[in-house]
Amino acid sequence: MILAETTTTLALMPKWFNPEYLLTQFGAYVIIGLCLVIFIESSVFPVLPGDSLLFTAGLFVAQGSIHAPLWLVCLVVTVAALLGNVVGYFIGYKAGPALFKRPDSRFFKQEYVDKTHAFLEKHGPKAVILARFVPFVRTFITWIAGIGRMDAKKYFTYTVIGGILWAAGITALGHLLGNISFIKNNIEAIFILIVLVSVLPIVIEWARNRRGRAAAEVAPMESDAEVTQRIPRIDR
């Protein structure tokens, strides 16, 4: 049975951002269109419904709207995601020298490259894998890895792991839950929940960094006060 068309539109989202609408518009070329969107979002254009599109593709497979076995859909979307990361990495790799050619540039500084490289060398595996599940970040991390000259072997190893977990995992999850009545009847709410869960790590990291900056601003004032108290008074 084909997934019933929802009666409302995703809140505050353009029509093309609705994954069900996108997949139905692709028609007979749904798998090609699905892979194209995943490739583009993984490489150059972050404003696309990657998570919800994969989840919906799994739903469509479960209900027969996509006439292909689940293993094949999981395979092709994973390949599309990995190819997108390869392209994104080399975009950053090639564009990096031009962007950071002038250390004293107004918008770009060489220190940004150094910090990015150090961050990815320290947190590379975790950053590359977890970034897959965060909208926008999964696109930008590929550029940053290239700009920061992250070791290609390390990057591609972990981007394969992240790509499989993300693309195949979310598609399989959509297939698993596709025949649950609650999911089918509340599909828009599920899409919004996926987006909220996806951006949650960004919110947590932002809050953590904000607390860290606040603590760093307070710390010097406290140390100055302590130093003042330790200075012996001269009463005469």
Write the DSSP symbol of residue 9.
Answer: -
Of 139, 141, 138, 146, residue with least CA distance to 98: 146
Residue 185 has phi, psi (to 5 degrees) of: -85, -10
Report d(CA 236, CA 234) in Å as an integer. Answer: 6
Burial degree of 16 (CB within 10 A; 0-12, 13-18, 19+):
exposed
Asked if residues 55 and 169 have their Cβ atoms less than 8 Å apart, the reply is: no
Report d(CA 74, CA 167) in Å as an integer. Answer: 7
Write the DSSP symbol of residue 168.
Answer: I
66 conformational bin, left if phi > 0, alpha if psi -120 to 50, beta if neither: beta
Q: Which pLDDT belongs to residue 84? A: 95
Report d(CA 150, CA 148) in Å as an integer. Answer: 5
Residue 234 has phi, psi (to 5 degrees) of: -105, 110
Tens-level pLDDT at each residue, the chain (236 residues): 444 444 344 444 566 677 888 888 888 899 999 999 999 999 988 878 888 899 989 989 988 889 999 999 999 999 999 999 999 999 888 887 676 665 555 545 566 556 556 656 666 677 788 788 877 778 888 888 888 788 888 889 999 999 999 999 999 998 988 777 777 667 667 666 766 766 666 567 667 767 776 776 665 544 445 544 544 444 44
Report d(CA 82, CA 79) in Å as an integer. Answer: 5
Question: How many other C-beta atoms are found inside a 10 Å radius of the C-beta of residue 146?
Answer: 24
Q: Which pLDDT belongs to residue 101? A: 61
Q: What is the DSSP string of 59-102?
A: HHHHHTSS-S-HHHHHHHHHHHHHHHHHHHHHHHHHHHHHHTSS
Q: Which pLDDT belongs to residue 54? A: 93
pLDDT in tens, 151-205: 888 889 999 999 999 999 999 998 988 777 777 667 667 666 766 766 666 567 6
Residue pointed to by tokens 């979310």? 170
Of 131, 154, 129, 149, residue with least CA distance to 141: 131
Q: Which pLDDT belongs to residue 128? A: 84
Q: Which pLDDT belongs to residue 38? A: 95
